[in-house]
Amino acid sequence: MTSTVQNPIELLRDNLEEQFQRNTDQLAELTLRSRQPGRSGYDRDALAALIASARQTVSDTAQALRRMAEGSYGTCERCTADIPLQRLEILPHARFCMPCQRAQTG
Ligand SMILES: [Zn+2]
* Distance from the alpha carbon of residue 31 to the mean position of ligand 1, in angstroms: 35
Between CA 26 and CA 104 the distance in angstroms is 28
* Distance from the alpha carbon of residue 74 to the mean position of ligand 1, in angstroms: 11
Please tell me the predicted confidence (pLDDT) of residue 98.
Answer: 94
In a domain, 81, yes or no: yes
In a domain, 3, yes or no: no
Between CA 88 and CA 24 the distance in angstroms is 21
Domain containing 54 equals 8-105
In a domain, 2, yes or no: no
Please tell me the predicted confidence (pLDDT) of residue 40.
Answer: 72
In a domain, 1, yes or no: no
What is the average pLDDT across 86-105? 91
Number of domains forming the structure of the chain: 1
* Distance from the alpha carbon of residue 44 to the mean position of ligand 1, in angstroms: 37
Please tell me the predicted confidence (pLDDT) of residue 36.
Answer: 87
In a domain, 34, yes or no: yes
Between CA 40 and CA 22 the distance in angstroms is 20
How many helices (H) does the chain have, and how many strands (E)?
A: 4, 0
Q: In CATH, what number is assigned to the domain containing residue 43?
A: 1.20.120.910
In a domain, 71, yes or no: yes
What is the average pLDDT across 36-64? 91
